[in-house]
Amino acid sequence: MAKRVCIVGGATTPFDYGPTGFENVEKGAADCIKETQKDVPDFHLRDLDFMIYSHFSVHFGHQLCSEWIIHDHLGLCGLPHIRIENGGNTGGSALYGAALSIMSGHHDVVGIVGWETMDSVRQSQGSEFIALASDVRYELMVGGIYPIYYAAMANKWMRDNGLKEEDVATIAVKNKNNAMDNPKAQWYRNDHRYITVDDVMNSGLIAYPIKKYDCCMMTRGTAFMLVTSEEWAKKHAPDNYTVVDGMGLSSCTIRAGDRCGYPSWEKLYGKGYPDMTEFGACRKSAEDAYKMAGITNPKKELDFGEIHDAFTTSEAQIYKALGIADKSNIAKFLRDGETTMNGSIPMNPGGGLIGYGHPVGATGIMSAIEAHYQLSGLATKKHISKKTTVDNAECGIVNSHAGTGTSISNFIFRRP
């Protein structure tokens, strides 16, 4: 019987672009660990028996194996360490790896450090670096950067599902305004203003139907999370741990255009699925996570989520893949504000990638930490006010997402 996995604590540096006060990643990691120790006084670095490093791009890091710098700096030499990289799903995949290591019984106390330093090159160069995760041979030089690929997918999806630009713009409004209650969020620290649907509609074109405010931001940031066995959590953090009740990890094609007629998807979900519109890997990994956690009606049983809103359109596509909305009601679901703090299932109370930021290797860790805060009662303390706390949250979903939907993980977190 696999051991149960718990999240005991975690913290991020402030997310920013340019000077943050945490420029060197190893100091940022140390600060995140110190903050975690404040929340979990029993936790000492000597308790760790495995370290997983979550980092996406060597191009941004201008350093191979930069995890070696951090690990060494933290005084952890001798302890086993590996790095996990899986595009935008790097953080989720690192958590998946940490969970497996605990489930197997081989490790008890696992630290994850995630980071990205995307401000080390110009933004337009950064877009190109990220695009190196598309198929360079067939896609890179035909104008392709990720927002363009996502826009092409979203354009068809929105048409198929009867959605307007204004409908998905509500997601940017929700996430950026939620971030205004989070002092570590990039939107709070930089632009720092509440926005409306009109602001989104009037922001500059990136790739139709995506405008500037529909997009997440490029970010410098670091995160640390402590993942342990249930025994350790019960003994050392009895009042503030969260249980990882279910998890799933799934995969899809690197080139979005190859999602027409892909045999393994059509065998699983029927002819024509996922096309260039649905996130098959999100649906499959969510179904696996629900099954493991015994969830049969996610819309009812999930209290909230921290999900991968690289774009407003993809957050909407994720709602559908998670099974909390379908073609018949997705438009109404958005127009009714079901995922706002006052809705039935708040999504991204922490601000998400659009509000908090997207330092790729740290992003999935940030989402998991925010979900843990909601479930362990820390959200009110970490955020500025109570308005981004999900009242009486018992169960949340954490989603991490890569490529054009090429690798996606989902986790069910529960209050014990």
Residues at the contact surface with another protein, assessed by CB under 8 A: 19, 23, 62, 122, 124-125, 127-128, 131, 135-139, 141-145, 147-149, 151-153, 155-156, 159, 165, 204-211, 255-264, 276-277
Question: Toward another protein, which CB reaches closer, 304 or 311?
Answer: 311
Choose among 317, 299, 386, 371: nearest CA to 171: 317
Gyration radius of the chain's alpha carbons: 20
Choose among 359, 278, 348, 296: nearest CA to 14: 359
Question: Toward another protein, which CB reaches closer, 45 or 260?
Answer: 260
Question: Toward another protein, which CB reaches closer, 47 or 191?
Answer: 191
Minimum distance of another protein from residue 317's CB (angstroms)? 13
Choose among 98, 14, 15, 84: nearest CA to 361: 84
Minimum distance of another protein from residue 142's CB (angstroms)? 5
Question: Toward another protein, which CB reaches closer, 112 or 210?
Answer: 210
Question: Toward another protein, which CB reaches closer, 7 or 321?
Answer: 321
- Compute CA 280 distance to the chain's CA centroid, rounded to the nearest angstrom: 17
Question: Toward another protein, which CB reaches closer, 156 or 327?
Answer: 156
Task: Give the list of residues 6+ apart from residue 246 with CB closer than 8 angstroms, or none.
Answer: 288, 289, 290, 291, 292, 293, 294, 295, 410, 411, 412
Minimum distance of another protein from residue 88's CB (angstroms)? 17
Distances (CA, A) of 19 to 14, 24, 108, 122: 10, 10, 36, 14
**Which helix H or strand E contains 110, and what residues bound it?**
strand 109-117
**Which helix H or strand E contains 409, and what residues bound it?**
strand 407-414
Residue 67 C-beta-side C-alpha neighbours within 13 Å: 23
**Which helix H or strand E contains 400, and what residues bound it?**
strand 395-402
Buried b (16+ CB within 10 A) or exposed e, 230-248: bebbeebbeebbbbbbbbb
Minimum distance of another protein from residue 128's CB (angstroms)? 4
Minimum distance of another protein from residue 363's CB (angstroms)? 21
What angle separates helix 146-160 from helix 123-131, to the nearest 10 degrees? 70
Question: Toward another protein, which CB reaches closer, 98 or 207?
Answer: 207
Question: Toward another protein, which CB reaches closer, 77 or 260?
Answer: 260
Minimum distance of another protein from residue 320's CB (angstroms)? 17
Question: Toward another protein, which CB reaches closer, 43 or 213?
Answer: 213
Where do we find the tokens 């100091």?
A: 27
Lookup: tokens for 382: 């970490």
Residue 20 phi, psi dihedral angles, 5° rounding = -125, -20
Minimum distance of another protein from residue 334's CB (angstroms)? 18
Minimum distance of another protein from residue 195's CB (angstroms)? 18
Question: Toward another protein, which CB reaches closer, 250 or 400?
Answer: 250
Minimum distance of another protein from residue 392's CB (angstroms)? 42
Minimum distance of another protein from residue 18's CB (angstroms)? 10
Q: Please give the Cα distance from 105 to 113 (Å, whole number).
A: 21
Q: Please give the Cα distance from 386 to 367 (Å, whole number).
A: 18
Minimum distance of another protein from residue 284's CB (angstroms)? 16
Within 10 A of 392 (CB to CB), how many other CB atoms are there? 7
Question: Toward another protein, which CB reaches closer, 199 or 301?
Answer: 199
Helices (H) and strands (E) in the chain, counts: 18, 11
Determine contact, residues 385/115, Cβ cutoff 8 Å.
Answer: no
Whether the CA torsion 85, 366, 405, 93 is positive or negative: it is: positive
